[in-house]
Every structure is written in C-alpha cells, then in structure tokens.
Chain A
C-alpha cells in the first residue's frame, strides 16, 4: 500500500512542474486530459516515445502491449472524435495523433526503435555510411565490377545470363550478411536490456554501456549500408 502511494505521488509532482491546462489554467494531473474541464492536453514535446506508450525504455518490447496502448490512445486523440469540439481542441487532437502515429511506427520496428533509443541515450545518431564497412570491402568491390559488366553486356548475349547468375549469387550472399548483422544486433539488444535492468552505477557498468552503444551504432549503420545495396541490386536485376 505504502509503495503504491509513493509511486503515484512521484509522477504527479513531475507533472505539476510540467503543465497547466491550456483551457482552465488548472494544474493538469491526468495523463492527457485536464481533470477539471476534461479538455484534451497537448502531448509535451519532451515526452519520449517510450514514455508516451507507457513502455520501459528497452530494446525488446511487448508488441501486444504497444499495440493495445496505440489503439487506446488513438481512441483518445483521433480527430474523428473532435469534430464537434473547439478549433483549439481540434488542433491539439491533430498534433497528438500525428505524434502518436510517429511514436507507434518508430517503436514497432526493431531497427527504428534501436536507432531512436540510441538517439535518446547518446544524442543524434544516424551516421550515413558512404563507403563499405572494412570487412565487406572486397565483396562490394567485386559486386561493383559484376554490375558494370552486367550493364555493359548486350541484352541478348549469353554472357548476360552468366553475369546475372553471378549477381543473384552475390545478392543472396549479401542478404545472408544482412540477416547475420540483424542476429548480432538482436544479441546486443538483449545485452543492453540486461544491463539497463541491473541499473548499476559502477564505472564498469558505464564502460560496458558505452561499449554496447558504440557497437550497436556501428552495426546499425553497416546493416543500413548492406540493405541499401541489396535493394539497389534488386531493382537493377529485378
């Protein structure tokens, strides 16, 4: 019981500092609606997507819980339900819905979720890789050569089909690489979540944390690179 009272009091204090109702100026204690005048409140820009969806900030999440929360908040915010309300409420409904949809889309996809979390933990992220990662250098160079050969050869010639078969094989190899990278990422996600669950404040934990972050970031950008190559390849050879 004590524990319960304590845990509800803490976020309440936070929210007191956070906001007042735009409509009646009373303190907003409810999550998204003013307790007094029942008007919808804009979701604060400072709220991260995990908080918005009432999820712990982890890389492995309960998809069903995410979907349930998304549907619940959609019912609360969607413009369909604000047709007869004031312009101010309609604007808030539109903004909240758009934010909610972005939050859901980001958290639903494991890769986007990881990129977003890294951004939260370590500042802006998306490094765009223009050159192949070191261990792929040879493979990519060879692929470029085969692609050039493919483009240069005459449509009807027999060599074309040979080159095409070679490209198909390389594509399959790259797709396998992508799957391997995703599996490795999955392992990192689990390691990260475990570390966060332990919530240790030791130097060792801090070092481990930045190691995993760095590793994830690198793996993510390598994976994006490979994925783009694969989809380019797919659109070239069909």
Chain B
C-alpha cells in the first residue's frame, strides 16, 4: 500500500498530514513549525519557499509571491480591482494569469506547485519514504477552473492527485472522527482568502453534505487590508508621506496589520509601529479591539448571507443545527465567533486547532482512498449549478447546485441546418439567468455527420466526478459511436501546457540541483586553495622546484574551473591539486610532527 498524504494548500499557510495508528498527524517542519507559509521568492540563488521566502516579502517585494491561491483558475480581469495591492507583476496569457518573477513568468499552478513540492519534501524527510500520491483540499465554493488549476499544480509538483476535497468537509471528517458526532453540523470556514459554509448530516460514518455556500474572495487578507489602509492613510495625513510608492514598506505595513489583527484576538489594545522611509522616523499607533471590529464588521457580516442561503438550500433552520464547528485562522477573531453564535444560537466548537483541522481531514480522506479507513464515507456536493448556453444568451441548468457528486446529466443535441457538421457548446457554472453573469468554464465543438436538419442525434453526458471536476463525453445515438471531445477551458491551462510545465519542473529541479552542486564545489575549491596557499607559505622551501611548478599550474587550473559552470570539472581539478600537493603535505606533516615532538620534549623539561 503506497502512502497517500493529505495537503491543505492554503492562501496564507499550507500543511501536510498523514495517517498512522488510526489517527491523522501533521508533518512537523524544522523547529517544529507545522505550517509552511504559502510564499515563494525568487532570489539570486534561485527560488525559495516558505519561511525563508517570507523574509523576502519586505526585502524584494516585487519578486516575492504570496496569496497565489487568489489567482488560481482566474483571468486578469477577475482580479482587476485588487491589482494595486500586489507588489509583484501580473499579466495574462491564454486566459490564465501569469506572475512575472525576474525574466520568467509563472502561472499560479506553477507557483502553487513549488509550495506543494516543499510539503512533499517535508513529508518525505519526516516519513523516510518517497511521496507521490496526495489528496489536496480546496475551498468548497471553488468552481471547476479553480479545482482544475489545483489539480494541475499537483501534477506539476510531481504528485498524483487522487482527490480534490472540500476544506470544510475535510474538517468535518477530522472533527467527526475525533468526537464521534451524529446529527447535523455546520462547518464555518474563514481562512486567509476564502470563506465557506457547509451543512452536513453525520450518521453511522456517512458524512452527507446537504448544502454548501461561500465566497472565494473573502478572508483574513481582506481584514489586513482594512487595517493597512488605515495606517497608510494616517501616515499620509500626518507625515505627508505616500507609502504606496514604497513597495517594501507596503509589505511591512501589511505584515504589521496582520500581526496587529492576530494579537487583538487575545488582547484589547495593541500598539502598531512602523519604520518610515525618507528619514521620517517611526509611525506608532494604538489600535483597540473595538476599532478593529468597526473596521472589519461589514466584511465579517458578508459571511452571514451565504450561511442563510445554505440553510435554505438544506431546507433547515438554525434550530436544526446540532453543532457549529469553526475552521480557519480567521475564526480566532472574537467578532467572528460572536456573529456565528448569534446566527446559529449556539456556542461554536473550536477544540481542534483551526489551522490544522483541514489538513488532518485530508489525511483521513487519503486513508479512505488507500483502503485503510473503511467505515467512513464522505458524500459531497457541487457548489454551483452547471449548465450550457442556449438561445438568447440564457443559461440552461443541467446539474443544480448542491447536487450530490458524482452527478451526471445527459442532453440530446441535433442540427438546425441540412448538412451541418458541428454544434458549438458553451459550458457555464453559476446561479444567474444570463450567460454573461455566470462563469464560462469551457467550449467545445460537437462533430456531427452531415445529414438533413434534425436527423443527427448526439447525446452529450456531463459528469461531475467526486473531485467536483467536470468530464464531458458524447455519443452518436444512431451509430452508437462515442466521440472524443477537445474541450477548451476558458480559464485554465491547456493539457499540453501542463505537460510542458511538468517537464520544466523536472528541469528546474535538475537546474536547482546543479546550482547547488556548483555552489558547493566552488566553496570547497576556495577552501582547498586557501589551505594550499597557507601550506606553500609554510613549506615551499621544503620541496623541489618540480613540485612547486606543478602545484602552481594546478592552482591556476582550479581557479579556471571555478569560474566555469561545471561542478564536475571543479572537482576534477581539485583532485589534481590534492595529488600535486601530496608531497608538500607529507613534508609539512613530518615537519610539524618533528616540531610537536620537540615542543613536547621542551614542555616535559619545563614540567620538571
């Protein structure tokens, strides 16, 4: 049985967990930090991930990517309103956002893949085995493109993604496993960038999702922005200094805003301080919890409407909910707890660490897939209605939101013109009437044999699999032939592009290794050169001219190799140098032995 790990790929932090002895465990990192900050930085020595990358947020903000999850499965126009907040440069290519880092551009799945690789290596180091299979979590309200982008990220990272699972449902698995809960529960999941609400029925090991709702663009990041905006505004008013012109200081503001917000969950009053550029000294400001709450209340209240909609879709009232579970770092905010409690009329549970519970649940799901856990089963739903474009730009719904997955719908297509050889199909996701108000998922052209109008009958099956990802197939009803479809995603990487990125990622891995080997070889060569110089100073007079000239030639050779890029060549010349200095080293050794003996004799004498 090959181990499958569970990964929580978060907006702010990511974690990896595994199952052992019937319980999920988080893989600890160095110095026991379980979370890997979801930050990737391009440095002069290549790409770095996690804690060290976080250090670069203020040092080289234009080359340090954070919150990349906000861009998964999106086009540039989707994030137009918040472009100003990000110090790194975003462009678009083929409907997919690209992030510019130095000379190269990367798609969000490629950046996410770097975080996934870091988690993969962490798990490999901890478990002492190769990790190739994973379950990755996504916000329940993620659409098809965002799920597909997450799956692509896994593939680019060299992981076989066996399942994409919804974060609140993963949390319910970890939670239900621990507490052996039965009944109706609500999972309220407010993370760094996304909000989800899921209502589940737990009965005899079956976790049946009744309804889900959410907002994929609402989370801790948005609260931080409110505070950061306040700081920036006040600095402008008090000092006449516009910090937005200083990307490094803007990052410092963002981090200080986050720190202030976090501390205000435990304390009532905090002083935030910032070093200002242009010799303007320091900005220091006291912020109370009340002030934080008035800054964020509107945003937090925005989570309540999805809660009501989910209750309505589940045909329940808040009285029917037995337990409310809080997930995600932002649920540590007292105001969040207060509003959730007011809506559901009961105190929410938060026994499990809200940062870890999603990854723990992903590990449980991974264990179900590997056949380890057999008594639990998760029945999830699709968060958004799926449909196709019909006449007049109207969406015709085929699979309604909150339908249990896997779900399928069949639709019959025919022609309107004699000899017509194709039918264009446009797939959409969303709850609105008009095509333009919904999310375009993909387009494809159905091939039709040339026949009189209305005669061809092509049955298209739309199937949403257990990952919440759409699969489309078509069959000619007259001939029974199935046809393969070239589905062109509206906001996703094309298959060949993903292939190329997987290849590149291996190449990058190889490049990274080569770079590391080169740096190591150069460092060692420097050490040997220094030692040789020292030896020559001490013992040049003890060896012959022949030895000396061969040593000098090999030193030049090592130095030449060192300025090259080939670590093997450096090591070869280093070996030559060692051979050439062999005699010198011996002579020196003898000499120092002699000296040591002489010193010893002297010391012996002095002892007496």
Q: Are A84 and B371 in contact (CB under 8 A)?
A: yes
Cβ of B162 < 8 Å from any Cβ of A? yes
Q: Given A71-B206, A80-B368, A83-B162, are A101 and B407 neighbors across the interface (CB < 8 Å)?
A: yes
Instruction: Please indicate the chain A residues that have their CB under 8 angstroms from the CB of B403 in the complex.
Output: 101, 105
Contacting residue for A105 out of B365, B404, B406, B465, CB 8 A: B404
Q: Are A78 and B466 in contact (CB under 8 A)?
A: yes
Instruction: Please indicate the chain A residues that have their CB under 8 angstroms from the CB of B463 in the complex.
Output: 94, 98
Report the nearest B residue to A95, measured CB to CB.
B408
Contacting residue for B369 out of A75, A80, A95, A104, CB 8 A: A80
Q: Are A101 and B405 in contact (CB under 8 A)?
A: yes
Instruction: Please indicate the chain B residues that have their CB under 8 angstroms from the CB of A94 in the complex.
Output: 406, 463, 465-466
Q: Are B371 and A83 in contact (CB under 8 A)?
A: yes
CA distance A207 to B403 in the complex (A): 38
- The 8 A CB mask of A57-100 against B (1 = contact, 0 = none) is 00000000000000100110011110110000000001101110
User: What is the minimal beta-carbon distance from B243 to any residue of chain A, in angstroms?
Assistant: 41
Instruction: Please indicate the chain B residues that have their CB under 8 angstroms from the CB of A101 in the complex.
Output: 403-407
Instruction: Please indicate the chain B residues that have their CB under 8 angstroms from the CB of A97 in the complex.
Output: 406, 466
Cβ of A102 < 8 Å from any Cβ of B? yes
Complex interface residues of chain B between 203 and 226 (CB less than 8 A to chain A): 203-204, 206, 208
Q: Are B406 and A80 in contact (CB under 8 A)?
A: no
Instruction: Please indicate the chain A residues that have their CB under 8 angstroms from the CB of B379 in the complex.
Output: 74, 78
Q: Are B369 and A98 in contact (CB under 8 A)?
A: no
- The 8 A CB mask of B155-194 against A (1 = contact, 0 = none) is 0000000110000000000000000000000000000000
Q: Are A79 and B466 in contact (CB under 8 A)?
A: yes
User: What is the minimal beta-carbon distance from A235 to any residue of chain B, in angstroms?
Assistant: 10
Cβ of B17 < 8 Å from any Cβ of A? no
Q: Given A78-B466, A80-B377, A83-B371, are A98 and B204 neighbors across the interface (CB < 8 Å)?
A: no
Contacting residue for A78 out of B162, B203, B377, CB 8 A: B377
User: What is the minimal beta-carbon distance from B279 to any residue of chain A, in angstroms?
Assistant: 54
- The 8 A CB mask of B449-465 against A (1 = contact, 0 = none) is 00000000000000101
CA distance A83 to B369 in the complex (A): 6
Instruction: Please indicate the chain A residues that have their CB under 8 angstroms from the CB of B374 in the complex.
Output: 81
CA distance A102 to B204 in the complex (A): 22
Instruction: Please indicate the chain B residues that have their CB under 8 angstroms from the CB of A80 in the complex.
Output: 163, 365, 368-369, 377-378, 466
CA distance A8 to B158 in the complex (A): 52
- The 8 A CB mask of A117-141 against B (1 = contact, 0 = none) is 0000000000000000000000000
Instruction: Please indicate the chain B residues that have their CB under 8 angstroms from the CB of A75 in the complex.
Output: 206, 377
Cβ of B370 < 8 Å from any Cβ of A? yes
Q: Are A98 and B162 in contact (CB under 8 A)?
A: no
CA distance A172 to B163 in the complex (A): 46
Instruction: Please indicate the chain A residues that have their CB under 8 angstroms from the CB of B377 in the complex.
Output: 74-75, 78, 80-81
User: What is the minimal beta-carbon distance from A15 to any residue of chain B, in angstroms?
Assistant: 24
User: What is the minimal beta-carbon distance from B473 to any residue of chain A, in angstroms?
Assistant: 11
Instruction: Please indicate the chain A residues that have their CB under 8 angstroms from the CB of B369 in the complex.
Output: 80, 83
Report the nearest A residue to B464, measured CB to CB.
A98
Q: Given A78-B466, A80-B369, are A71 and B204 neighbors across the interface (CB < 8 Å)?
A: yes
Instruction: Please indicate the chain A residues that have their CB under 8 angstroms from the CB of B405 in the complex.
Output: 101
Report the nearest B residue to A75, measured CB to CB.
B377
Contacting residue for B407 out of A74, A79, A98, CB 8 A: A98
Report the nearest A residue to B376, measured CB to CB.
A80
Q: Are A83 and B370 in contact (CB under 8 A)?
A: yes
Count of B residues near A, CB < 8 Å?
Answer: 24
CA distance A98 to B162 in the complex (A): 19
Instruction: Please indicate the chain A residues that have their CB under 8 angstroms from the CB of B162 in the complex.
Output: 83
Count of A residues near B, CB < 8 Å?
Answer: 18
CA distance A104 to B378 in the complex (A): 16
Instruction: Please indicate the chain B residues that have their CB under 8 angstroms from the CB of A102 in the complex.
Output: 407-408
User: What is the minimal beta-carbon distance from B583 to any residue of chain A, in angstroms?
Assistant: 64
CA distance A71 to B466 in the complex (A): 16
Instruction: Please indicate the chain A residues that have their CB under 8 angstroms from the CB of B404 in the complex.
Output: 101, 104-105
Report the nearest B residue to A96, measured CB to CB.
B406
CA distance A105 to B400 in the complex (A): 11
CA distance A105 to B370 in the complex (A): 29
- The 8 A CB mask of B350-377 against A (1 = contact, 0 = none) is 0000000000000001001111001001
Q: Are B406 and A98 in contact (CB under 8 A)?
A: yes
Q: Are A71 and B203 in contact (CB under 8 A)?
A: yes
Instruction: Please indicate the chain B residues that have their CB under 8 angstroms from the CB of A78 in the complex.
Output: 377, 379, 466
Instruction: Please indicate the chain A residues that have their CB under 8 angstroms from the CB of B204 in the complex.
Output: 71
User: What is the minimal beta-carbon distance from A92 to any residue of chain B, in angstroms?
Assistant: 12
Contacting residue for A98 out of B203, B206, B370, B408, CB 8 A: B408
User: What is the minimal beta-carbon distance from A141 to any residue of chain B, in angstroms?
Assistant: 24
CA distance A98 to B379 in the complex (A): 12
User: What is the minimal beta-carbon distance from B539 to any residue of chain A, in angstroms?
Assistant: 68
Complex interface residues of chain A between 195 and 225 (CB less than 8 A to chain B): none
User: What is the minimal beta-carbon distance from B396 to any residue of chain A, in angstroms?
Assistant: 13
CA distance A99 to B409 in the complex (A): 10
User: What is the minimal beta-carbon distance from A116 to any residue of chain B, in angstroms?
Assistant: 15
Instruction: Please indicate the chain B residues that have their CB under 8 angstroms from the CB of A74 in the complex.
Output: 206, 377, 379
CA distance A99 to B403 in the complex (A): 12
Instruction: Please indicate the chain B residues that have their CB under 8 angstroms from the CB of A79 in the complex.
Output: 406, 465-466
- The 8 A CB mask of B369-409 against A (1 = contact, 0 = none) is 11100100111000000000000000000000001111110
CA distance A78 to B465 in the complex (A): 11
User: What is the minimal beta-carbon distance from B373 to any residue of chain A, in angstroms?
Assistant: 10
CA distance A89 to B289 in the complex (A): 57
CA distance A166 to B606 in the complex (A): 117
CA distance A193 to B206 in the complex (A): 32
CA distance A104 to B405 in the complex (A): 12
Instruction: Please indicate the chain B residues that have their CB under 8 angstroms from the CB of A81 in the complex.
Output: 371, 374, 377
User: What is the minimal beta-carbon distance from A100 to any residue of chain B, in angstroms?
Assistant: 9
Report the nearest A residue to B409, measured CB to CB.
A102
Report the nearest B residue to A67, measured CB to CB.
B203
Instruction: Please indicate the chain A residues that have their CB under 8 angstroms from the CB of B365 in the complex.
Output: 80
CA distance A99 to B404 in the complex (A): 11
Report the nearest A residue to B208, measured CB to CB.
A71
Instruction: Please indicate the chain B residues that have their CB under 8 angstroms from the CB of A99 in the complex.
Output: 408
- The 8 A CB mask of A163-179 against B (1 = contact, 0 = none) is 00000000000000000
Instruction: Please indicate the chain B residues that have their CB under 8 angstroms from the CB of A104 in the complex.
Output: 404
Interface centre among A80, A101, A104 (most CB of B within 10 A): A80
Report the nearest B residue to A80, measured CB to CB.
B368
CA distance A123 to B440 in the complex (A): 35
CA distance A80 to B135 in the complex (A): 12
CA distance A74 to B208 in the complex (A): 11
User: What is the minimal beta-carbon distance from B295 to any residue of chain A, in angstroms?
Assistant: 28
Q: Closest 8 CB pairs between A and B?
A: A98-B408, A101-B404, A98-B406, A83-B369, A97-B406, A79-B466, A71-B206, A80-B368
Provide 28 A-B residue pairs closer than 8 Å at the C-beta atoms, listed in order of the A residue: A71-B203, A71-B208, A74-B206, A74-B379, A75-B377, A78-B379, A79-B406, A79-B465, A79-B466, A80-B163, A80-B365, A80-B368, A80-B369, A80-B378, A81-B371, A81-B374, A83-B162, A83-B369, A83-B370, A94-B406, A94-B463, A94-B465, A98-B406, A98-B407, A98-B463, A101-B405, A102-B408, A105-B404
- Known contacts A74-B377, A79-B406, A102-B408; can you find 10 more A-B pairs with CB under 8 A? A71-B208, A74-B206, A75-B377, A78-B377, A81-B371, A83-B369, A97-B406, A98-B408, A101-B407, A104-B404
